[in-house]
Structure 1
Amino acid sequence: MNYREFKRRRKKSVFRRVVLIIVLAIIGLLIAGGLYVYSLLDKVQENPLDLTPEDLGISELAPLESDTGVINILLFGVDARSLNESSRSDTIMIASIDTKNNAVKLTSLMRDMYVEIPGKGKNRINAAYALGGPALAIKTVNTNFDMDITRYATVNFYSLEKIIDQLGGITIDVKQNEIGPLNSCINELNRLDPSGKVAHVTSAGPQTLNGRQAVAYSRIRKVGRDDFQRTERQRTVMNEMFKKAKSVGVFKLPALAEAILPNVETNITKSEMLSLAVTAVQNGGNEIEQFRLPVDGTYQNQSINGMAVLVPDMEENKRLLHEFIYGE
């Protein structure tokens, strides 16, 4: 072998070693990052619900996860300063991961929907969380809509802005008539937490909103059809967060996890949480399919005991919910 050939092979060998070292370093970082994220799961406020299906209101008529391949999780957003503070659930959603049809679906339950709360009589559905915590709220949804939900997650409303900021903001198409109410909500949030004051939104159209601006957007109520469009805005924010989270680089995941996990209370175990996250990403595509209860034309506006409520046709809404989630 001549010197030139020796030098060429030596360069090739050095190059391969460098590539190998870089690959090993990346794998090491991913493993370390994964272990770090897993360790962060210890910060989640675990609340195991040691309850039977009967305790959670799951009837024999409820479609079973083992048969349908659909994983349902009840999501609550509480309008409280801390997860331990007693509060009505300001936001109630059913997140459905359809493993057979590769879809992620989100159903908003209007908080003013007038339903039977087991053991407590009829009331707005969002009262169940304040009256009996997540267990009673899950039982209320299962009993009224023949669902098989056992898992839940509660997120403090005020923590959402931290999560969205870690994502680098989200894109929202702000309408002209939403700007005034949006800025009023920003003012309210700025008064509650002066340390994180943010600027007003000054123009309409698609734009990147930071965490506080996006939370304010999701709280707008006095525009359009009041709470109906409010729940639509909340689903829009969730959908944009989901899309943004899927595009986040792997090295940003630990910071994102650190922003999210300490602000979550759930009965989902650490290993299952990781498994569900992977399943949701694999099955979710780029868009979350959205739905809302009660469906237009299936309820009446009434005043009961001084409360403005939505009285739904339960059988019809139950049928439409099952059709959306399970394709029945």
Structure 2
Amino acid sequence: MSRDMNYGEAAEPKARSFRFWLIRTIWCFGGITLVGTILGGVLFFCVTRTSGLRAQNRQDGQEVEIYSKEQIDKFITSVLIIVQNQPMGQESAQADMVFIASFNAFEQRLTMVALADETLVQTEEYGDKSLGEAYALGGPGLLVNIINQSFGLDLQNYACTDTHSLAVMIDLLGGIQTELTQNEADYINNALGNSGEGLHAGTVTLTGAQSVVHAMDNLSGQEPLGSPRRSLKLIQSLVFNLRKTATKEAMLPLLSLLFSNIETNLDFTMLHDLGYEVLKAEEMEYQSLLIPCDGSWKAAGTNGEKLQADIAQNGELLLETLYNAQ
């Protein structure tokens, strides 16, 4: 399914800047994945070179190999970002947030995709499982393979962290500014035990803990897929804020935290020297996508807690969005 895009000599300068854009994505991830993610991290990307063609991950004593995939487009690289609900290193932790950060070096476009962790997918060994459950069963290796197989992608790299670490990262960055409805404000206040003196509707700056709670909010207003929708909103806000206000002094402690609280097969060798420079580089195009898309899923499971999605339809939408594939 590979396509060799013939852009000519004009593409070379942008191709050479590829690694810098990847580093930018990582910085955004470290400061974003927000949402509990993605909030704090989002946008991790492949910096320079990965540590190998095939990465291995140990989960529950088993090695899960990431199967090598041919790159669909030589100018586009994507990274799977996972935020789990328990501290890093703890076995069988489920994924609370799943994102794909994809950068088109030729068009200088960054795409953030939020995949609802309740989405059911087929696995060879375990039958139908949600994305969150698949991560608990086989770690990032299994999840990368399943997403590639289900949606026709070429993921090879991943970055994993937990909600607590992301909250700390967000606090280091000064919080995230966003718009809240009164229902959303009440949800955060009740979750953190400060309902009498907490947030109110309007423009607010959320702390790390508040950001994570907001990103995990799947109830306020009974909005379908509320959590991933809010995650994407927070990520966009943080990305653009970082580009305007980030300082090298603020980035250094964040980088230190990233090293100690992230599991990844990305190479961070050049991140320290180039991260800030790239973050402040030229403008880029930004777009986001929610999977499964509206109208392509129905509730499943005993209590409607899972999502039965049209995988083929969503795979086509992903390819069209990331690769302009028709």
State TM-score, norm by structure 1: 0.72
1:37 corresponds to which residue? none
Query: Residues 124, 248 of structure 1: CA spacing in aligned structure 2 closer, same or farther, 3 A cutoff?
Result: same
Point out the structure with max Rg over C-alpha: 1
2:226 corresponds to which residue? 229
- How far does residue 234 in structure 1 lie from its aligned partner after superposition? 1.2
Query: Residues 279, 153 of structure 1: CA spacing in aligned structure 2 closer, same or farther, 3 A cutoff?
Result: farther
Query: Residues 169, 278 of structure 1: CA spacing in aligned structure 2 closer, same or farther, 3 A cutoff?
Result: closer
2:294 corresponds to which residue? 296
Does the 8 Å contact 2:69/2:156 carry over to 1? no
Query: Residues 134, 270 of structure 1: CA spacing in aligned structure 2 closer, same or farther, 3 A cutoff?
Result: same
Q: Give the alignment partner of residue 269 of structure 2, picking from 268, 271, 279.
A: 271
2:109 corresponds to which residue? 103
The gaps in structure 2 that reach 5 residues or longer are 1-49, 57-63
1:179 equivalenced with 2:185 (yes/no): yes
Q: Equivalences for 1:149-228 in 2 at 5 Å? A: 149-187=155-193, 201-226=198-223, 228=225
Q: Give the alignment partner of residue 250 of structure 2, picking from 249, 252, 259.
A: 252
1:56 corresponds to which residue? 66
**Cα distance in 2 between the residues matched to 1:286 and 1:112:** 31
The gaps in structure 1 that reach 5 residues or longer are 1-45, 191-197
* Root-mean-square deviation over aligned CA pairs: 3.0
1:91 corresponds to which residue? 97
- How far does residue 144 in structure 1 lie from its aligned partner after superposition? 0.3
2:3 corresponds to which residue? none
What amino acid does structure 2 have at the position aligned with 1:157? T
2:132 corresponds to which residue? 126
- How far does residue 307 in structure 1 lie from its aligned partner after superposition? 6.0
**Cα distance in 2 between the residues matched to 1:109 and 1:228:** 10
Does the 8 Å contact 1:74/1:151 carry over to 2? yes
Instruction: Give the 4+ runs in structure 1 shifted more than 6 A.
Output: none
State TM-score, norm by structure 2: 0.73
Deviation string, structure 1 residues 123-168 (Cα, Å, up to 9, x no partner) = 1121111101111011110110111111000011111121111111
What amino acid does structure 2 have at the position aligned with 1:74? L
1:78 equivalenced with 2:76 (yes/no): no
Deviation string, structure 1 residues 231-274 (Cα, Å, up to 9, x no partner) = 11112222223223323112322122123332111011223656
What amino acid does structure 2 have at the position aligned with 1:252? A
- How far does residue 112 in structure 1 lie from its aligned partner after superposition? 1.3
**Cα distance in 2 between the residues matched to 1:275 and 1:73:** 21
Number of residue pairs matched?
Answer: 267
Does the 8 Å contact 2:293/2:314 carry over to 1? yes
What amino acid does structure 2 have at the position aligned with 1:289? Q
**Cα distance in 2 between the residues matched to 1:282 and 1:122:** 43
- How far does residue 327 in structure 1 lie from its aligned partner after superposition? 1.4
Does the 8 Å contact 1:59/1:143 carry over to 2? no
Query: Residues 279, 314 of structure 1: CA spacing in aligned structure 2 closer, same or farther, 3 A cutoff?
Result: farther
Give secondary structure in 2 for the equivalent of 1:224: helix
What amino acid does structure 2 have at the position aligned with 1:93? F
Give secondary structure in 2 for the equivalent of 1:171: strand
**Cα distance in 1 between the residues matched to 2:137 and 2:291:** 21
Identity fraction in percent? 24
1:316 corresponds to which residue? 313
